[in-house]
Amino acid sequence: MRLSRNLGATALTVVVLAAGLAMALRDRLPERGSDAGDPSDVFWEMVDVSREGEADAWLDLFAGEVREQLETVRDEMGEAAFRQYLRQRIAGLKGVAVTGKEDLGGTVRLEVEYVREASYETQSLDLRVARGRWRIVALGPTQEREPPVPYGTPVGPGD
C-alpha cells in the first residue's frame, strides 16, 4: 500500500514538472506545420499598433525572453508612459520598410528600416511561430545612419 502511494506521488510530480516545462518552452521552440501567414505581417502590425499606443496588442507580437523583458519595461514605466513611448517612437517616421527576409530554419530574420527626416535606422527582427502565429523573439541592435541625401530634398532635372 505504501509503495502504491509513493508511486502515485512520484507520477503526479513527474506530470506537474512536465507540464511546467512545456509551458516554459512553448514560446521558445518553433512550432511545426503551422499556417501562421507571412512573418512580415508582424512588422506591419507592430507599426500600426504602435501608432495607436496599443500596449497589449504590441506586446502580443513578441514571445519568449524578449517579451518578458518588454513587459518588465512596461511595468517599470507604467501603462500610460509605455503607451506614449510607443506613439512617440512611430510619430516622427517618414517611412518604414522590410528590406530583407532570411529563413534560418524555424526562425525568420527580417531586416527593417525606419526613415526619419534627418536619419534612418536599420534593425533585424527574428521571428518564430509561437502560439499559432509569427512572433518576434529577438531584436537586433538599431543602427542609425545619415542618409546620403536628406529626406525631402528635391531631385531631378533643373534642380
pLDDT tens figures, 21-31: 444 444 444 44
Judge residue 39's burial from the number of C-beta atoms within 10 Å of its C-beta, 0-12 exposed, 13-18 middle, 19 or more buried.
Answer: buried
Q: For 60-95, what is each residue's pLDDT tens digit?
A: 999 999 999 999 999 999 999 999 999 999 998 999
* CATH code of the domain covering residue 74: 3.10.450.630
Report how far residue 61's alpha carbon sits from residue 57's, in angstroms, rounded to the nearest whole number: 7
The count of structural domains within the chain is: 1
Residue 151 inside a domain? The answer is no
Contact 63, 137 (CB under 8 A): yes
Helix (H, G, I), strand (E, B) or coil at 133: strand
Grade residue 6 by pLDDT with cuts at 50, 70 and 90: low
Per-residue model confidence (pLDDT) at position 23:
47
Could you tell me if residue 16 is inside a domain?
Answer: no
> By the 8 A CB rule, do 31 and 132 touch?
yes
> pLDDT class for 119, splitting at 50, 70, 90?
confident
Domain that holds residue 136: 25-145
Helices (H) and strands (E) in the chain, counts: 5, 5
For range 18-41, the mean pLDDT: 58
